[in-house]
Structure 1
Amino acid sequence: MDIVVKGRNVEVPEHYRIHVEEKLSRLERYDRKVIRFDVELFHEPNRRQSKNCQRVEITGMGKGPAVRAEACAGDFYAALDLAVTKLENRLRRVHDRRRVHHGRRTPASVGQAISAAAGGDRRTALTTVLEAPDAADLAHDGELNGSSRLRNGNGHNGNQYNGSELDGDFGSVRLPEQRWEEAEGDSDSDLPGRVVRQKEHPAKPMTVDQALYEMELVGHDFYLFADADTGIPSVVYRRRAFDYGVIKLV
C-alpha cells in the first residue's frame, strides 16, 4: 500500500511521514482493495476556525469507491489522529455491512426494506421512501444542510469520486471527475446565506444499497445518485435514529 503525504504551503518533516505510515498501516485489515492513501496537510483558511487551524485530509483510493476523512485541530498530529479515527470507523462500518450472515441473522437489504415499507410492514422497514419530506425533519436531521462540508478555498470537500478510471501501477483507481465553479459576487466569505460554490459530477446509475455504501465511505450525511431501476434522480440520507431515508424526484 502506497502512502503519499504532501503539504499545501506546509513543510512536511520526515518523522511526520513515518508517523502517518504507522497510523494508516493498521487500516489495511478493513479493506485490502485500498492500495493508496493520499494525505494532505494545510492551514485552515476559514477565519472562523482560526483556533483549530491545522487541517488534515485523507483519501483512500483503490479498485472500488474512494474513502475520505478529514479533521482539524490545534496541531497536525492531533488532526491526524482525529482523521484516522473517522476513517477507521467508516471502514469498519462498511466492512460490517459486507459480512455475510445466514438464517435469521441475514440483514434485510434496502430494497427489501423499501418494498416492506410500501406494503405497510413498518416493523421490518429499515428505509423510508419519502415523496414529500417534512421540512421540520430536514432541518432537524440536517441531511441536506452543511453535510457536504463544501467550503471556500481549494479543498476537495464533498467529492463523491464518481468518474474516470486511472490506468497505471494502481490498477483501476476511481478519481473525481467533476467541475467546480466559484459563485460570482461579493468576495466577503463571512456573509451568511450565499451560494459560494457550485459542483457538477457525472451521474452513475446505482442501486440504493450501492449509494448507501458509497455514502458511508465518504462520510457524508446524504448522497445524490441516479436510481438504476427507475432512472429517477434520488437522494439517500442518514436520519437521526441511525437508519436511512430515500428522497426521489417524481
Structure 2
Amino acid sequence: MDIVLTGRHIQIKQKFRDVVESKMNRVTAIAPDAQRVQVVLSHEGNPRLHDTAVRVELTVIAGSTVVRAEASSLDEVSALDLALDKLTLRLRRARDRRKDHRKNYSPVPVDAGKFVPPSEEREDIMGDEPADNSPANAVAGDLGPGESVEVHVGDTPIVIRRKLHIAEPMTIDEALYEMELIGHDFFLFVNKDTNRPSVVYHRHGWSYGVFEIDTPENVKKLEEERKA
C-alpha cells in the first residue's frame, strides 16, 4: 500500500513519517485490498485554536471505494490516533456492508421529510485548490473534473469554493453507504431512479432523510408525460 504524506502550512518531520508508517498496519489489517492512503497534515495558525491546532486527514482508496476520516488535536500524533480510530471504524463498516450485501442485505428505509441542513464540515478531498481573485469565478465558468476554485469575497471573511466532481448515478441505499464511508452527515448524489440531484442526510439515531431538487418546468413536463 502506498502512503502519501502532504503538509499544509507545516513541515512534516521524519519522526512523524515513521509513526505514520508504523500505524498503517491497522488499515491493511481491515482492508487488505487498500492500494493507497493519503495523509494530510495541516496547522491552524490562530492561537485561540491552540488545543486543536493540528489536523490530520486520512483518505484510503481500495478499488472503487474511498474511505475518509479527519481529526484535530494539540499535536500531530494525537490527531493521527484520533483520525485512525474513526477511519478503522468506517473501514469495518464498509467490510461488514459488503458481507451484508452477500447475505441479501435489505436497503435502509429513509424518510423524505423536511430537510434540516447538517452542521457544516470542511471537505478536503484529494486535488489541488487553485485560487482566483474574482469572486464571480467561484460560481461561474467551466471547471474540469477534479478542478476547483476558491476565492475571498472582497474584504469580507467569506470564502466561496467551487469544485466539479464526476460521479455515476446511484440509488438511495448506495448514497447512504457512501455517506457513512466519508463520515459526513449528508451526501450529494444523482438519484439513479429519478435522475434528480439529491441529498441523503442523517436525522437522528438510525433515521435518515432524502431531499431531491427539480425545476417547476421539468416537474410539469413529467406530469404531462404521465398523463399522456
For normalisation by structure 1, the TM-score amounts to 0.68
Hey, what's the Cα distance between the residues in 2 that align with 1:158 and 1:5? 14
Q: Deviations over 1:6-32 (max 9, x none)?
A: 323433333322211222211223223
**1:7–1:41 Cα contact (<8 Å) kept:** yes
Q: Which of 111, 115, 128 is matched with 1:128 structurally?
A: 111
The aligned residue for residue 210 of structure 1 is 174
Letter in 2 for 1:219: G
Give the alignment's Cα RMSD to 1 decimal.
2.7
2:139 is aligned to none
Contact 2:50 2:74 in 1 (8 A): no
Q: Distance in 2 between matches of 1:160 and 1:75?
A: 23
Aligned 8 A contact 1:33 1:64 in 2: no
Alignment partners' CA distance in 1, 2:92 and 2:177: 12
CA distance in 2, matches of 1:4, 1:195: 28
TM-score, normalising length from structure 2? Answer: 0.74
Per-residue deviation, 1:127: 1.5
- Is the Cα–Cα contact under 8 Å of residues 235 and 248 in structure 1 kept in the other structure? yes
Mapping for residues 127-206 of structure 1, pairs under 5 Å: 127-130=110-113, 133=114, 138=116, 142-143=117-118, 145-146=119-120, 149-150=121-122, 157-159=123-125, 177-189=145-157, 194=158, 196-206=160-170
Instruction: Give CA-to-partner distance per residue, 1:127-158, whole Å, 9 cap, x none.
Output: 2133xx16xxx1xxx52x31xx23xxxxxx25
Structure 1 equivalent of residue 205 of structure 2: 241
Letter in 2 for 1:33: D
Relative to structure 2, which stretch is displaced further, 217-226 or 9-18? Answer: 9-18
CA contact (8 A) 1:227 1:233 kept: yes
Greater Cα shift, 8-17 or 208-217: 8-17
- Match of 1:22, SS? helix
Q: How does 1:57-96 map to 2 (within 5 A)?
A: 57-96=57-96
Cα deviations by residue, 1:48-97 (Å, 9 ceiling, x for unpaired): 53432111111112311321111111111111011101111111122222
* Per-residue CA distance 1:192-223 (angstroms, 9 max, x = gap): xx563333323421111221222122111111
Confirm or deny: 8 A CA contact 2:153 2:159 kept in the other structure: no
- Structure 1 residues 76, 160: closer, same or farther in 2, change over 3 A? closer
1:184 to 1:195, Cα distance in 2 relative to 1, 3 A: closer
Q: Which residue type is aligned with residue 23 of structure 2?
A: K
Decide whether aligned partners of structure 1 residues 77 and 94 sit closer, same or farther in structure 2, where only a CA change above 3 A counts: same
Higher relative contact order (CA 8 A, sep 6+): 1
Give the gaps of 5 or more residues in structure 2. 128-143, 215-228
Counterpart in the other structure of 1:118: none
Residues 57 and 129 (structure 1), Cα distance of their counterparts in 2 relative to 1, 3 Å cut:
same
